[in-house]
Amino acid sequence: MSEFEKKLAQLSADLNTQGARIADQLLRAVEATFDGNVDSAKVVVANDTIIDQVDVEIERACIELLRIGATDEHSIRSVLTIVKVNNELERIADCAVIVAESAINHNDLISSAPPTFRVMANSVVGMARDTNKALAETDTKVAIRVLSFDDTVDRFRKEIVLDVQHLTSRGELEPLVAFELLAVTRAMERIADHCTNICEQVIYLETGKITRHLPEGWTVPETPMF
C-alpha cells in the first residue's frame, strides 16, 4: 500500500468518526428538545468546539494529502469528496447547536409544536443516520434513498410553517415560541439539505456523476467514470 493510500484510509476513517460524532450530537439535540432536557442540550453546545477542531484537522490533512501528488482521477475525487463532506458535516453540527439552543431557551418547546414537528425531526435524524452509512460504506443505494427523502422533509417544513403562522395569528402561540419553532424547523431542513449534499458526493465518488446541478434531480448514471 502506497503512502497516499495509507493516509487516505486514515483520513476516511477520521471523517467517518466525525460523521458518527455529529450524528450523535444531532440525536442528543433532538431528544433534548423532545424531553425538555436543558443539561443535555448544553452538552451539545459545549461539544461543538471539538467538532470545529476536528473539522480544521481534517481540512489540513487533505491539503497535505494532495501534496503527495496522486494523479489518477479516483484518488483525486476521493480527497475532494472528503473536503466537501467535511464541510457539510460541520454545518450539520452547527444546525444541531441551533436545535439545542432552542431547547435551552424553551425547555417545553415540543408541547407548543404542531404534530408534524416531531415527525420531521425524527425523519431528519434518520436521514443523518443513513447518510453516515452511505458515506462509511460508499453505498450509492443508501445515498439515493436519502436523496429521495429530501422532498418529504421540505413538505414537512411547509406544513409546520403554515401551522405556526395560523396558531400565532389566532393568539394560540406566543411570538417568541413561534420564532424558536421556526428556527428549529429551518435548521432541520438545512440538515436534510446537507445530508443530500453529502450523498451526492458519495455518488460522485463512486460514479463520477455530478448530480447536484441536474434540473431533473437524481438520475442513474449510464456508465461509471473511473
**What pLDDT is attached to residue 99?**
96
Domains of the chain by residue range: 3-207
**What pLDDT is attached to residue 173?**
87
Q: Cα(41)–Cα(17) distance, rounded to whole angstroms?
A: 21
The end-to-end CA distance of the chain, in Å, is 20
Domain 3-207 has CATH 1.10.10.10: no
Whole-prediction pTM value?
0.89
pLDDT in tens, 134-183: 999 999 999 999 999 999 999 999 999 999 999 999 998 889 889 999 99
Angle at 183 between CA 116 and CA 29, to 5 degrees: 75
Q: Report which DSSP code applies to 212.
A: T
Nearby residues of 141 by Cβ (< 8 Å), 6 or more positions away: none
**What pLDDT is attached to residue 221?**
46
**What pLDDT is attached to residue 211?**
63
Which portions of the chain are predicted below pLDDT 50?
213, 215, 218, 221-226
